[in-house]
Amino acid sequence: MTARIGIIGASGFTGAELLRICASHPGLQVGFATGDSQAGAAAAELYPGLAPAYPELVFEAWDPSLVDGVDAVFLGLPHGASQRIVPDLLGKVAVVVDLGADFRLRDAGAYERWYHEPHSCPELLDRFVYGLPEWHRDELRGADAVAAPGCYPTAATLALRPLVDAGVIRTDGIIVDAMSGVSGAGRPPKPHTTFCAVDENVEAYGLLDHRHTSEMDMNLGATVLFTPHLVPMNRGILATCYARPAVDGLDSAAVLDVLGRRYLDEPFVVVSPRSPSTKAALGTNAAHVTARFDERTSTVLAIAAIDNLGKGAAGQAVQCMNLALGLPETEGLAVVGTAP
């Protein structure tokens, strides 16, 4: 089976990563790729690395007629933009996978609180399956609408959720410190993402109000204090998470065993005593996780490393699309990182 897909918002970094993955995916064929800010530009000019696979591909301006003859659509748009398009896509294609934030939160009030604008189609929120396959695999099979998680919540949830579910950590006072490569800020240049601003610099941002906090709270059933940091690398996320124990008698072997048992059969999650590194996940859909218990401070430490454009965005979206279309879940997705 080969599905013909469209990518709306393909000229950004996430869209380019989708194109890269689809180029080696035997079950997905790109039918169109839009990029309104780059309409008329050749994909190979904007991203020369795509030239061998897409020598003739030109980014188009979005038009609803583009979905004629297309089986499924990815949306790689800023928050707020998908809401204007999704109502016209549902029912016209078999699957819509939205990589933006518009349909991740179940509560329209929470969306308005964290994104500072009302949701224009709250009646569709319950239709979307939250696209974290490790917890929603059965719902994703055959789904027609998927909301791919944010990159930071993916890392934090993979690190912490098994510990919450096992009842070994408390759900109040969780702290997530995470670092991201600059590609997480998107392709358009910004003053804080230029080379001179980023090089030899590490900076915290989104203090107390980063929007991904709401997803972490939702996924963990917890209250999370989240602080993201921008670091001078192209791609990758390292999430270092702290929580208080909910049971007595914990040690590092016990908390690591919780992760190991939960992810034993997961194709994209690697559990190891090794401290995770972003390089290990580079260019893949893999997540590397570990955990410890510090007796001195009575603190559980859980760490996850992912590629923010892979498991944190395009890779996970393709994993979800595979499940929704009935394709092998791992098809087209790498697990071995690029090194050196």
Report the distance separating Cα 164 and Cα 246, nearest Å: 9
Report the distance separating Cα 177 and Cα 1, nearest Å: 42
Q: Is 139 exposed, middle or buried (0-12, 13-18, 19+ CB in 10 A)?
A: middle
Q: How confident is the model over 273-291, as pLDDT tens digits?
A: 999 999 999 999 999 999 9
Report the distance separating Cα 307 and Cα 36, nearest Å: 26
Q: How confident is the model over 242-272, as pLDDT tens digits?
A: 999 999 999 999 999 999 999 999 999 999 9
Run of H or E including 264:
none
Report the distance separating Cα 238 and Cα 250, nearest Å: 24
Q: How confident is the model over 83-135, as pLDDT tens digits?
A: 999 999 999 999 999 999 999 999 999 999 999 999 999 999 999 999 999 99
66: Cα within 13 Å, side-chain hemisphere:
20
Q: How confident is the model over 136-149, as pLDDT tens digits?
A: 999 999 999 999 99
- How would residue 340 be classed by pLDDT, with cut points 50, 70 and 90? confident
User: Mean of the per-residue pLDDT values for the chain?
Assistant: 96
Give residue 157's pLDDT. 98
CB 301 within 8 A of CB 9: no
- The one catalytic residue in 22, 121, 151, 241 is 151
Q: Which of 3, 298, 308 is nearest to 154 (CA)?
A: 308
Q: Report yes or no on whether pTM surpasses 0.85.
A: yes
Q: Is 53 exposed, middle or buried (0-12, 13-18, 19+ CB in 10 A)?
A: middle
- How would residue 5 be classed by pLDDT, with cut points 50, 70 and 90? very high
Active site residue 151: yes
Q: Which of 31, 236, 66, 259 is nearest to 152 (CA)?
A: 236
The 10 Å CB-count burial string (b at 16+, else e) for 94-126 is bbbbbbbbbbbbeeeebbeebbeeebebbebbe
Give residue 36's pLDDT. 86
For the chain, list the domains and their CATH numbers. Answer: 3-149+311-325 (3.40.50.720), 151-308 (3.30.360.10)
- How would residue 334 be classed by pLDDT, with cut points 50, 70 and 90? very high
